[in-house]
Amino acid sequence: MRIDLHIGPDHLGAGRFQRMLADRRDLLLQGGVLFPRAPGRRNHTRLFMAITDPDHIDPLRYNRGFRDGDTQAALRAALKDDLSREIDAARPQRLILSAAQLASQLHRPTEIERLFDFLRQFGDDIRITAIAPSASEGVLRTYAAQLQEGRAIGLDRDLALMETGAGWWQSCIDDMSSRKVDPRAGLFEATQIAPFWLDYHAMAQAWAAVFGADAVRLFSHDAAQIYDRSATDHLAACFDLTMPLGRAGKAEQPDVPSWATLTRWRRLNQRILQLLQARPDMIVPRATWRTVLADQTLAGNGPSAADLSALDRHFADQNRALVQAHPGLHPALLLGFADTIDAGAPLSWTEADAEEGYRASHALLAALPRLEKASAEARDARGLAPVKPPATAKAKPATAAQRLAPLSDGARDLLPPQALANLDKLRQSPLAPHNTMGQLDETVERPPFAPLSARALPEGSTGAVIVGCMKNEAPYIVEWVAYHRAIGVDNFLIYTNGCEDGTSEILDRLQDMGVVQHRNNDDWRGNSPQQFALNQSLKEPLIRNADWVIHIDVDEFMNIRCGNGTLPDLFAAVPDASNIAMTWRLFGHNDQTTLRDDFVIDQFDSCAPKFCPKPHTVWGFKTMFRNIGAYQKISCHRPNKLLEDQRGAVKWVNGSGQDMTEEAVDNGWRNSRRSIGYDLIQLNHYALRSAESFLIKRQRGRALHVDRSIGLNYWIRMDWNDHKDLTIKRNLPRLRAEYDRLMQDDILRNLHEDGLNWHRAKVAELHKTPEFEELFCQALKVKLRADERVAYALALDMES
């Protein structure tokens, strides 16, 4: 049996190849070609982990528990059995394997030989396929990827190795042999070694020495084709595939972060590594490390391969010879910028400024509570004893007077006895609310995000789609739609029922403009209009053809806090996620009493603390999910009714990109202390808006009547004003641009004004109603701190 082995390298189109192969697994098998699941669903990481030398512990082996020779040998044996069973069941003529780490991490002859011996059990005709980018592109993307995994060595080291005279391949290996490897302390060969494989001549020789002189084939890294719909043509050429593969979905090549971001990552990595050296008890999981780094991301111009063009010149003569030997190499792609600079151009590099007065020591200090928490959880998962904190003097019990003394103005009269008792317990418990979680300083005004370029959706795709329900939301619709269009939402499907304020007319006009799809839901049946609408949405082509489905309300704004603040940036940060839990951040009325025609995200920037496990609604989440058919139903907070045969395809992550699949895969709509995270995305929830907006929200039914106690309870539970969060305001310029573009339509602008006037008239009417006016005045008198608000909520039966 013929075996085609794709060895990468990593970070240079390998993931795109693997996704295309996985998506066409059944089609390939019909043609006698097996792309097996046993080594991994897409990237065959089990194969890579099984054949490295026992002492060559990479991040994958370390984090997945194959740290010693015995567990690795057991993995190798299990992989052999699993792969044998899959081959026996499929009886293919050919086998395609793909492990992106093989090219970028294997340089020891013993490892290549072990891989050969393993594969020879399944077939003798083994062919090696490697993708060869230009030297400048390879160094640049490898450097960025290694920084994300903990590299602290500057790029000047890599350039210096080109002038040693020992040859690039050997110089990289010699340099690595002089460096410390300590997986527990975050020091891996994989994150420190320079990209030795860029010496394609030496790489081809190393693999040919084991697999045979004619076994190795090199192909150019053609990013324009790899991420185009014609990528399947490139795939077919690399693996000699003759069956029709169809067209690939168009994708975007991930951007390299800005120069300032790369500098920040490297400097913070230095600090984290120093911390791990000083704290032998500490373990920092890779997911936590990556999230901490993601918080340092700064928008700006990113580097390009042209910035490192001298590298292409260094390898030019050798690569011209390779083009003659490997028909799959294109001279212009492999040589890069070699012919655009002088032969004597210096190999130099100066690290960019981190900007904004960035201090890695300050960033580490801010991240320390999260690192400590993650370390404690990792130690517990490995069965290690918890690290005992230094002994402290035992606090004396507070007297009743002492407990009452710190109450804020008005709290003593407002809080019932049970709430006071709750407050006493809360302040001494690990559930006490605070805002020290996470790394991002939310009070700092940062530069605006750049506009998001318009994108053309692949044929048959409706992209990222919001499905929502509305009733009497006229003043807020255009802002909400414009904002989400500005961050990358492609389509909207909105259901309405019982509207009196012009909401339906606004949505009808937006539909006429090609912006949204509007459905009347007045004839809903069942327990709620919302669930009826969500059930109906599953029949809509807009949802059926979506890549991602998002169910949120008009008072909820997706606040993406990574990259350029767009959905593509979020998806790039969590490429393997199928479900993203977007945890609420509750925003209070921010001393805004009147209904104003200003942007919601600009008016209200006071919010709940990030750490607030009680009451239960504070950490509620809504879910953005990939449309892979894993769940049969969309509910208010999440998809439900998981198909059992799709369980393995589902990966839930929290707002920091951390895996929470075990906790959320079957049920649940709120985060726990274990799964909370806001670092990549949070859902800004403006449940109240202004005090006058709150009056309209609390009006129920036909009569102008309200239960004042229930209304006040809702206000107290939702009016969080303890902390400032300005992060979403980076979107204001691009929101304004899209909003103004939509409002150029005279009909839409007039409908918006009519809706706003309806709400103003309703507010005036409610102010004249004693019950509502009393609620309005009572609400504005309430001034509670976060712990007092929690204690109150725990004491009373709160209405949502």
Q: If you write DSSP's letter for every residue of 616-664 in order, what string do you get?
A: GGGGBEEEEEE-SS-EEEE-SSSEEEE-GGGGGG--EE-TTS-B-HHHH
Task: Give a yes or no: residue 405 inside a domain.
Answer: no
Residue 372, domain member (yes or no): no
Indicate the residue type of 678.
Y
Query: Does some domain include residue 471?
Result: yes
228 domain-assigned = yes
Domain boundary among 299, 323, 340: 340
Would you call the peptide bond into 9 cis, given omega within 30 degrees of 0 as the criterion? yes
Instruction: Give per-residue pLDDT as tens, 715-759.
Output: 998 999 999 999 999 999 999 999 999 999 999 999 999 999 999
Question: Hey, what amino acid is at 787?
Answer: D
| 571, part of any domain | yes
**Structural domains of the chain, count:** 2
What is the tally of helices (H) and strands (E) in the chain? 35, 18
> Which residues of the chain fall short of a pLDDT of 70?
165, 341-348, 388-406, 700-710, 796-800
DSSP string, 550-566: EE--TTEEEEE-STTSS
**DSSP state string for 298-348:** --SPPP-GGGGHHHHHHHHHHHHHHHHH-TT--HHHHHTTGGGS-TT----
Question: For the domain that residue 25 is a member of, what is the CATH number?
Answer: 3.40.50
User: What's the token pair of residue 600?
Assistant: 């919601």
Domain co-membership, 330 together with 470? no
Residue that finishes a domain, picked among 340, 373, 393: 340
Would you call 548 helix, strand, or coil by DSSP? strand
CB 467 within 8 A of CB 534: yes
Domain span at 241: 2-138+198-254+315-340
Asked if residue 559 belongs to a domain, the reply is yes
Question: Residue 165: inside a domain, yes or no?
Answer: no
Residue 455's region, left for phi above 0, alpha for psi from -120 to 50, else beta, is: beta
pLDDT one-digit tens code per residue, 412-451: 778 888 888 888 888 888 889 999 888 788 999 999 999 9
Q: Are strands 606-607 and 723-724 parallel, antiparallel or unpaired?
A: antiparallel
**What distance in Å separates the CA atoms of residue 456 and residue 490, rounded to the nearest whole number?**
10
Q: Is the dihedral of CA 389, 394, 397, 402 positive or negative?
A: negative
Tokens coding 14: 């390998």
For 346, counting Cβ atoms within 10 Å of its Cβ (0-12 exposed, 13-18 middle, 19+ buried), the class is exposed
| Residue at a domain's end among 340, 375, 403 | 340
Buried b (16+ CB within 10 A) or exposed e, 540-575: bebbeebbbbbbbbbbbbbbbbbbbbbbbbbbebbe
Query: Which residues have C-beta within 8 Å of that of residue 543, sequence separation ≥ 6?
Result: 462, 465, 467, 493, 537, 549, 627
pLDDT of residue 798: 37
Q: Does residue 170 belong to any structural domain of this protein?
A: no
